[in-house]
């Protein structure tokens, strides 16, 4: 073989040895060649092949141990114990609090049904209800007259309606102000001045510009300690005054407020923007005192409100629970909205009345009208139930200066001022049933 041929074959071998196929181009790199180390020693020359040493890992160092078999941290154990002990203690305290709270709520005891009326008939049951027909203002300077007319009270679809109307619809607008004599049919007041009126422009005398109704169980149904529930929807309209309340049957201790008054619910028909609490508020209270101008209602009252709604939007239950030890007034559920009055001290002491009062030019001792009668007096006698919708008044229920009120409580012509602004306030009275207080049912029980 020639030298040229040998060289060619060597070149071919070398090309084949170093040739790279397309697949090999993407394969893992070839391993590095072994390093040949030549060493000499006493036993002669020898060769040793070895790979390059890699540095030791620093990920783990020291002796490996199992943390769950090692010694526990004392502080961690104490923290664990304290945390769970406080948790258990809180649960136990809550349970005790709930139990003692439940035990502290006085129960009313056994009750016997006195009245249950769901108004399923066509007319009011005359054995239960009576109409109080009057135009004298009921001691509050009210601007309505109450009638027995079916225009102002009627039953429809299982509900009792108490609906205020305008007197001008009956006698005309001019008749309210001048030259008209009005006699109230079926008047129940023995005082004739509360049974008729004469309008006179010169004197400013007017005939009551509104008509409404007031019904009660007076002389027919009353309770001394017990429970009352009335489910009702309240009316809308400026200066309307719906109420569910109770008065004593016999005035044992004397005229109002000596013998007391229980207001289960009072409200105002003015809208939610009214600054003195409109249709989104209701109030419960007790009226009591040794003199007419010493009424301690400010010491025994409470009010409730609803958000994004009013008590004229739907029906609510207004209730009373009453014993010789306590009196509760509530709305819907006594666990949520309740005025709870414990008879733990005599009412004369609760009122903090003065020891003496001025009578003309001399001071006289103010006696305790309930002395020796227990802590619940004067609320220890039979009371009857009243349902009504009043209009306006001068007793302060509608305070001066609130909501563009068209009259002043102290003005001698307050009713005339109210009548003169009829066009303004009557526009707020809905033409629909929303102007009426609608009563779904009435229930009364007495302790037995």
- Which is more confident, 400 or 51? 400
Has residue 2 been placed in a domain? no
Q: Of 338, 337, 336, 345, which is closest to residue 322 (Cα–Cα)?
A: 338
287 and 184 together in one domain: yes
What integer is the mean pLDDT of 35-42?
48
Contact 307, 334 (CB under 8 A): no
Q: What is the percent of the chain where pLDDT is above 70?
A: 83
CA 111 from centre of chain: 27
What integer is the mean pLDDT of 65-92?
79
The per-residue pLDDT for 98 is: 75
3-class DSSP state of 216: strand
138 and 41 together in one domain: no
Contact 286, 301 (CB under 8 A): yes
What integer is the mean pLDDT of 351-365?
87
What integer is the mean pLDDT of 101-130?
88
What integer is the mean pLDDT of 277-305?
95
The per-residue pLDDT for 46 is: 47
| Tokens 């020898």, residue located | 46
Is-cis flag, bond preceding 221, omega within 30? Answer: no
Query: Angle at the Cα of 229 (from 225 to 234), degrees rounded to 5?
Result: 135
The tokens for 93 are 């305290």
pLDDT over threshold 70, residue 240 = yes
Q: Of 132, 138, 142, which is closest to residue 396 (Cα–Cα)?
A: 142
**pTM for the structure as a whole:** 0.79
24 and 118 together in one domain: no
22 and 115 together in one domain: no
Is-cis flag, bond preceding 257, omega within 30? Answer: yes
399 and 287 together in one domain: yes
Has residue 83 been placed in a domain? no
Has residue 104 been placed in a domain? no
What integer is the mean pLDDT of 84-101?
84
Has residue 220 been placed in a domain? yes
Has residue 101 been placed in a domain? no
37 and 176 together in one domain: no
222 and 336 together in one domain: yes
214 and 337 together in one domain: yes
Lowest mean pLDDT among 16-20, 220-224, 252-256, 307-311: 16-20
- Which is more confident, 337 or 62? 337
266 and 388 together in one domain: yes
What integer is the mean pLDDT of 353-364?
86
Has residue 135 been placed in a domain? yes
73 confidence band (pLDDT: 50, 70, 90)? confident
The tokens for 231 are 């489910």
Question: Could you list the residue range(s) of the whole structural domain that residue 400 is in?
Answer: 111-447
The per-residue pLDDT for 77 is: 79
Contact 112, 448 (CB under 8 A): yes
pLDDT over threshold 50, residue 12 = no
CA dist 390 and 286 (Å) reads 19
The per-residue pLDDT for 44 is: 47
What integer is the mean pLDDT of 132-146?
97
Has residue 307 been placed in a domain? yes
pLDDT over threshold 80, residue 432 = yes
304 and 409 together in one domain: yes
CA dist 24 and 21 (Å) reads 5
Lowest mean pLDDT among 19-28, 276-285, 346-355, 430-439: 19-28
What integer is the mean pLDDT of 76-93?
86
The per-residue pLDDT for 163 is: 98
CATH code, 139: 2.60.120.200
pLDDT over threshold 90, residue 40 = no
305-322 burial, b if ≥16 CB within 10 A, otherwise e?
Answer: bbeeebbbeeebbbbbbb
43 and 120 together in one domain: no
146 and 235 together in one domain: yes
Stated as kind and residue range, the H or E segment containing 93 is helix 74-104
The per-residue pLDDT for 321 is: 97
Number of domains in the chain: 2
pLDDT over threshold 70, residue 2 = no
Has residue 24 been placed in a domain? yes
């Amino acid at each position: 073989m020639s030298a040229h041929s040998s060289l060619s074959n060597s070149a071919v071998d070398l090309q084949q040895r170093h040739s790279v196929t397309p697949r090999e181009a993407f394969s893992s790199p070839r391993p590095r060649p072994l390093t040949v180390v030549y060493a000499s020693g006493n036993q002669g020359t020898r060769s040793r092949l070895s790979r390059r040493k890699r540095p030791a890992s620093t990920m783990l160092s020291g002796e490996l141990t199992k943390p769950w078999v090692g010694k526990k941290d004392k502080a961690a154990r104490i923290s664990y114990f304290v945390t769970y002990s406080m948790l258990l203690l809180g649960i136990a305290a809550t349970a005790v609090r709930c139990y003692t709270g439940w035990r502290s709520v006085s129960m009313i005891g056994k009750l016997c049904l006195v009245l249950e009326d769901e108004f399923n008939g066509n007319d009011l049951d005359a054995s239960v209800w009576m109409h109080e027909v009057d135009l004298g203002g009921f001691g509050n300077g009210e601007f309505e007259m109450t009638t027995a007319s079916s225009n102002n009270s009627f039953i429809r679809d299982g509900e009792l309606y108490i609906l205020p109307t305008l007197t001008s619809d009956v006698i005309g607008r001019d008749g309210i102000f001048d030259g008209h004599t009005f006699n109230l049919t079926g008047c129940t007041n023995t005082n004739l001045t509360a049974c008729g009126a004469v309008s006179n422009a010169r004197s400013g005398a007017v005939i009551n510009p509104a008509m409404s109704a007031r019904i009660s169980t007076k002389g027919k149904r009353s309770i001394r300690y017990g429970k009352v529930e009335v489910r009702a929807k309240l009316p809308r309209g400026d200066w309307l005054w719906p109420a569910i309340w109770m008065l004593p049957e016999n005035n044992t201790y004397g005229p109002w407020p000596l013998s007391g008054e229980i207001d289960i619910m009072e409200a105002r028909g003015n809208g939610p923007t009214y600054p003195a609490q409109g249709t989104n508020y209701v109030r419960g209270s007790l009226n009591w005192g040794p003199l007419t101008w010493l009424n301690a209602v400010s010491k025994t009252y409470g009010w409730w409100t609803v958000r994004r709604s009013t008590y004229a939007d739907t029906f609510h239950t207004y209730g009373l629970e009453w014993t010789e030890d306590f009196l509760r007034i509530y709305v819907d559920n006594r666990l949520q909205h309740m005025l709870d009055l414990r008879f733990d001290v005599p009412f004369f002491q609760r009122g903090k009345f003065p020891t003496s009062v001025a009578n003309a030019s001399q001071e006289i001792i103010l006696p305790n009208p309930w002395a020796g009668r227990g802590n619940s007096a004067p609320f220890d006698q039979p009371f009857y139930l009243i349902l009504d919708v009043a209009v306006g008044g001068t007793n302060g229920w509608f305070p001066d200066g609130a909501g563009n009120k068209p009259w002043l409580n102290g003005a001698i012509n307050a009713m005339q001022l109210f009548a003169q602004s009829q066009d303004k306030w009557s526009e707020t009275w809905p033409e629909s049933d929303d102007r009426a207080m609608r009563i779904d049912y009435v229930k009364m029980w007495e302790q037995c």
